Amino acid sequence: MTNAYRILDGKANGLSGVAVDKYNGHFQIQFFTEEFLELEAEIAAEIEERFKPEFLVVKYRFKNTSTNPKVLLGNNPKTVVEENGCKFSVDLLDTLNPGLFLDMRDARLLFGEMCGGKEVLNLFAYTCSFSVYARKNGALKTVNVDISKKNLNKGKENFALNNLVPLPGEFFCGNSEEYVDWAIKKGKKFGAIIIDPPSFAKNGKKTFSVAKDFEPLAIKTVSLLEKGGTLLLATNYSKWSGENLRKIAMNAECKILAEGTQGKDFPSAGQSKESSMVWLMASPLNSKSGHRF
C-alpha cells in the first residue's frame, strides 16, 4: 500500500515524454521532450479537478532548456509519503529528484523482506530508502555510503520518520568504490548488499560511469557477501536492459534470485529513455529457483 505512485506514464498512456507523479497530496508533471508541452495547462487543470492537490509543480527535463521548475499551486514543496508501512520525506523543489524513486518500490519491498537478522551495505545510498526497509524488516545494521552529505542527512531524516535509531557507523559520507576496497582489506562481511548507482557521477577528479565501472565494482563487491548473502543490482542507465545485469551476475558467479523493472504504475517500462530502470537480485551460492516480477 502506498500514497505515492505514477498517475500518467508517457508512451503507454498516449503522451510520450510526459509523466505525472503523486506524492501524498503533492503532484509533479514532468516533460522529458517538448512534443506535448502545449498540453501543460490542460494536464494541470485535469490534475487540479480530479485530485485537488496541495502542491503542484512542472519540471522540464529535455535538453537545451533553461526553464526552472514552475510551481502552479501551493507554497510548501515538502511532504511525507507512506509506502508498505515505511515513511519517506519528499521535497518536490529540492532537485529534479525529490528524494524517493517510485519505480524502485517492488525492489525495496522484496529486498527488505530478505534482510532480517543481517548486516546490510547500501552503496550509492541516496536518501537510504532501501535501508529503511531493511531496518524495518529486522536488519541488524545498515551501512549507508554516499558522496553527498546532504543525501545522507535526508537518510537520517527518513530513519527518524520511521522511529529508527541510527547505529554507530550506519552513515558514511564517501566514495562507494573506495569503501568497498577498504571493507575488503578489513575483512568485512555483509548479509545483503545494494548497488544502485547513478548513470554517471563525478567526485572531485574521479568519475563513476555505469557503462565502464558497474561490472568491476559488482564483481569485487561479491567478495563482501556472507554465505548465502543477497546482492541487489539496479540501474536506470538508458542504454542498458535486464540482459546487462544478467551478464554481470553471471560474471560475478552469482545465481539470479529475482529480477524486475518498474512497477505496475509504470506501463511504459522499457519503451523510452526515461523508463529504463531494471533491477536484479542474486546470490553467489546455490539458491532456490528465482522468480520474476
**CATH number of the domain that residue 9 is part of:** 3.30.750.80
Tell me whether residue 92 is in a domain.
no
What is the grid cell recorded at 24? 501524498
In this predicted structure, the answer to whether residue 288 has a pLDDT above a threshold of 50 is no
**What digits encode the pLDDT tens for the residues 16-45?**
999 999 999 999 999 999 999 999 999 999
Measured torsion, CA atoms of residues 107, 111, 112, 114, in degrees rounded to the nearest 10: 150
**What digits encode the pLDDT tens for the residues 47-66?**
999 999 999 999 999 887 76
Q: Which residue has the cell 485530485?
A: 51
Is the distance from CB of 32 to CB of 18 less than 8 angstroms? yes
The DSSP secondary structure of 223-271, one letter per residue, reads GGEEEEEEEEEEE--TT--HHHHHHHHHHTT-EEEEEEES-TT-TTTTS
**What digits encode the pLDDT tens for the residues 230-267?**
999 999 988 898 999 999 999 999 999 999 999 999 99
Measured torsion, CA atoms of residues 262, 263, 265, 270, in degrees rounded to the nearest 10: 30
pLDDT at 287: 47
Tell me whether residue 158 is in a domain.
yes
pLDDT at 84: 96
In this predicted structure, the answer to whether residue 291 has a pLDDT above a threshold of 60 is no
Sheet holding 225-235, edge to edge: 171-173, 141-146, 119-123, 190-195, 225-235, 278-283, 255-261, 291-292
Mean pLDDT of 127-146: 98
pLDDT at 286: 57
In this predicted structure, the answer to whether residue 97 has a pLDDT above a threshold of 90 is no
Nearest to 218 by CA among 207, 227, 210, 226: 210
45 CB burial (10 A radius; 0-12, 13-18, 19+): exposed
Domain closes at, from 44, 77, 110: 77
Residues 179, 220 share a domain: yes
Residues 182, 119 share a domain: yes
Tell me whether residue 110 is in a domain.
yes
In this predicted structure, the answer to whether residue 166 has a pLDDT above a threshold of 50 is yes
Count structural domains, the chain.
Answer: 2
pLDDT at 276: 77
Residues 189, 111 share a domain: yes
Query: Mean pLDDT for the chain?
Result: 92
Residues 139, 15 share a domain: no
In this predicted structure, the answer to whether residue 119 has a pLDDT above a threshold of 60 is yes
Residues 112, 244 share a domain: yes
Tell me whether residue 83 is in a domain.
no
- Distance of alpha carbon 81 from alpha carbon 251, whole angstroms: 38
Q: Spell 132-145 as b/e; 16+ CB within 10 A means b.
A: bbbbbbebebbbbb
- For residue 163, what are the domain limits? 102-292
Residues 231, 135 share a domain: yes
Residues 124, 72 share a domain: no
pLDDT at 201: 77
Tell me whether residue 135 is in a domain.
yes
Domain closes at, from 77, 111, 129: 77
**Strand 255-261 relative to strand 291-292, pairing:** parallel
Residues 216, 121 share a domain: yes
Residues 213, 164 share a domain: yes
**What digits encode the pLDDT tens for the residues 174-192?**
999 999 999 999 999 999 9
Residues 204, 118 share a domain: yes
Tell me whether residue 90 is in a domain.
no
Task: From residue 96, give the alpha-carbon distance in Å to each of 31, 65, 101, 127, 203.
Answer: 12, 13, 11, 14, 19
- Distance of alpha carbon 47 from alpha carbon 7, whole angstroms: 10
Q: How many other C-beta atoms lie within 10 A of the C-beta of residue 250? A: 12
Residues 107, 63 share a domain: no
- Distance of alpha carbon 226 from alpha carbon 219, whole angstroms: 14
Tell me whether residue 142 is in a domain.
yes
Better-scored residue on pLDDT, 269 or 171: 171
Residues 109, 69 share a domain: no
Confidence of residue 289 (pLDDT cuts 50, 70, 90): very low
**CATH number of the domain that residue 172 is part of:** 3.40.50.150
What is the grid cell recorded at 285? 551460492
Tell me whether residue 111 is in a domain.
yes
Better-scored residue on pLDDT, 208 or 120: 120
Q: How many other C-beta atoms lie within 10 A of the C-beta of residue 237? A: 18
Least confidently predicted of 74-83, 126-135, 147-156, 282-291: 282-291
Mean pLDDT of 104-122: 96
